[in-house]
Structure 1
Amino acid sequence: MDATPDLPRPPRVPVFNMPAVVTASVGLLVAIQAVRMLIPDTWDIALLVDLALVPARWTVAIDPSRADEVLRAAAAWPGSALEVEARTAFARYLIAENSANPWTFATYGLLHGSWAHVLLNSLWLAAFGTPVARRCGAWRYGVIALVATVVGGALHVLLDPLSTLPLVGASAGVSGLMAAATRFVFQPGADPGLQPGLLPWQRPVPARLQSLSELLRNRAAALFLGIWFVTNLLFGLLAVPLGISDASIAWDAHLGGFAAGFFLLPLLEPRRG
């Protein structure tokens, strides 16, 4: 006879108790990276060329007269003679192809330059995608992530139109979800019965969104935003040298995605009460 007392089951750790759509998103990013590690290099390169966002591809497709600018920019980028030759050859391919590949504004967010890159994005996605999905539901969560990805990519193309470096990573979409979550997770006046020490994204979803002026007056939110903008700039400048990605990580795409998520959430808010 078992004399062990019938103790209640311990609660699940809130940060890992993610909505199904967030779990599926993280699983998809990890699965795509795993598949890319298993397929031949030639297939992976073809996948990158077809699905990554390359600003120069759009520039040439919209204005073919800028082809010479693209070639000069590719040749002027620092690197070894072999690297310069490879970039120039890729630029010639883009010019000859002359196709915008419009789907790349979304699909670049599914690819990553390394395991460190995909795992870092997955952690941020789990932390800030969770409260957005809980507040808005799966389809609104998806719309915010998609629009932020597209807007981030568009801003990158606008600011760096001659670049032949493939842009990859879910960072713009994650930044949009982060901005959306920022509008409500840092609100004061939480339920006093809550377990102490919970992180902002582990708390129950507040009913009201905060305006930008309210966020700037909120010390916790203002500190978070300040740290995010500074670290985003540093990661944008140092990501490739630190080995986080083999391709381009664009701070401008992060900022575009952040702005999209911040201003889109109020338009998608479900009716309450």
Structure 2
Amino acid sequence: MDSSSSDLTQDPPLQQAREPILNLPGALTAYILLIAVIHLRVLLPDEWNAGIIDLFAFVPKRYDQTLMDGAFPGGTPAKIWTFFSYSLLHANLAHIGFNVLWLLPFGSALARRFGALRFYLFLTVTAAAGALAHLLTHEHALAPMIGASASVSGTMAAAMRFAFVSGSFLSFTRGDADAAARVPALSLSRALRNPRVLGFLAVWFGVNIVFGIGGITPGAEGADVAWQAHIGGFIAGLILFALFDPIPHARGDAAPALPSDAADH
């Protein structure tokens, strides 16, 4: 009697908690939702929608010194905010989807590592870097540039500083998502000597150049790809990563080991 009663009162075996398939940090989820909400502009009348593009897209011609301040909507202040605001506008759902697809792995890792404030500031800085690269290569152009691709490129570059370190999200020995995002990063010089990072850089630059030369614009049919802006955002993300990174960096010979590299040689 006692034994059967004891069996009935035994605690059920604990089940190991499973990590959700899609476990996005709140900062990234909020950013994606913001882009989606802003895209509801397409439901507005055409003239209103065109006005939003004129006011918030990045237009190189806006910075022509021979033009009066009132030549473009927003005047002088718009010359500042369009360096960032253009990145929140997209051509269509496919354009949004293509950017979000790359943000899911790279943006998630960076948002977990940086925290919300640093993450949003980083997206803003890389968007501005992309706009500057576009301005330098498209002086006097009237075609508006929109899309988060420069910022997305920046997150991909920044993630390369720690993605292949043992325990991180692209290594063979990754931990849980939070631990994988917080491994000590490689210095820029060491990252640029790492075979995996160099391979990623070669593929990324190659794809963007091919897309640019071939006029291929994933998710934004009928528009030219702003590949120079992508490169501007990428280079800024790669170089400026350390200014935003709150995780202490290993230095010199104490830099984090990449034990799986040996298997690749």
Which TM bucket (shorter chain)?
0.7 to 0.9
Q: Which residue of 1 aligns with 2:82?
A: 104
Task: Using the TM superposition, give the Cα deviation of residue 218 of structure 1 relative to its aligned residue in structure 2, in angstroms.
Answer: 2.4
Q: Which residue of 1 aligns with 2:120?
A: 142
Instruction: Compute the TM-score of the two structures, normalised by the length of structure 1.
Output: 0.74
Q: Which residue of 2 aligns with 1:235?
A: 211
Q: Are the equivalent residues in 2 in contact too, given 1:131–1:201 (CA < 8 A)?
A: yes
List gaps (5 residues or longer) in structure 1: 68-91
**1:141 aligned counterpart, secondary structure:** helix
Q: Which residue of 1 aligns with 2:236?
A: 260
1:190 is the counterpart of 2:197: no
Cα pair distance change 1:38/1:6, threshold 3 Å? farther
Distance in 2 (alpha carbons) for counterparts of 1:203 and 1:229: 29
Q: Are the equivalent residues in 1 in contact too, given 2:98–2:219 (CA < 8 A)?
A: no
Distance in 2 (alpha carbons) for counterparts of 1:268 and 1:13: 28
Q: Which residue of 2 aligns with 1:45?
A: 50
Q: Which residue of 1 aligns with 2:24?
A: 18
Q: Are the equivalent residues in 1 in contact too, given 2:112–2:181 (CA < 8 A)?
A: yes
CA RMSD across the alignment: 3.3
Q: Aligned letter for 1:29?
A: I
Distance in 2 (alpha carbons) for counterparts of 1:227 and 1:21: 28
Cα pair distance change 1:258/1:8, threshold 3 Å? same
Instruction: Compute the TM-score of the two structures, normalised by the length of structure 2.
Output: 0.76
- Superposed, 1:1-273 pairs within 5 Å as 8=15, 11-13=18-20, 16-33=22-39, 35-59=40-64, 63-64=65-66, 95=71, 99-100=75-76, 101=78, 102-187=80-165, 189-190=166-167, 204-238=180-214, 244-270=220-246, 272=248
Q: Are the equivalent residues in 2 in contact too, given 1:114–1:246 (CA < 8 A)?
A: no
Larger CA deviation: 241-250 vs 131-140: 241-250
Cα pair distance change 1:155/1:207, threshold 3 Å? same
Cα pair distance change 1:139/1:10, threshold 3 Å? same
Work out which of the two has the higher radius of gyration on C-alpha atoms and give 1 or 2.
2
Cα pair distance change 1:151/1:213, threshold 3 Å? same
Percent identity, aligned pairs only, is 36
Distance in 2 (alpha carbons) for counterparts of 1:26 and 1:156: 24
Number of matched pairs: 235
Distance in 1 (alpha carbons) for counterparts of 2:172 and 2:178: 11
Task: Using the TM superposition, give the Cα deviation of residue 263 of structure 1 relative to its aligned residue in structure 2, in angstroms.
Answer: 1.8
Q: Are the equivalent residues in 1 in contact too, given 2:127–2:148 (CA < 8 A)?
A: yes
List gaps (5 residues or longer) in structure 2: 1-11, 250-265
Task: Using the TM superposition, give the Cα deviation of residue 211 of structure 1 relative to its aligned residue in structure 2, in angstroms.
Answer: 2.8
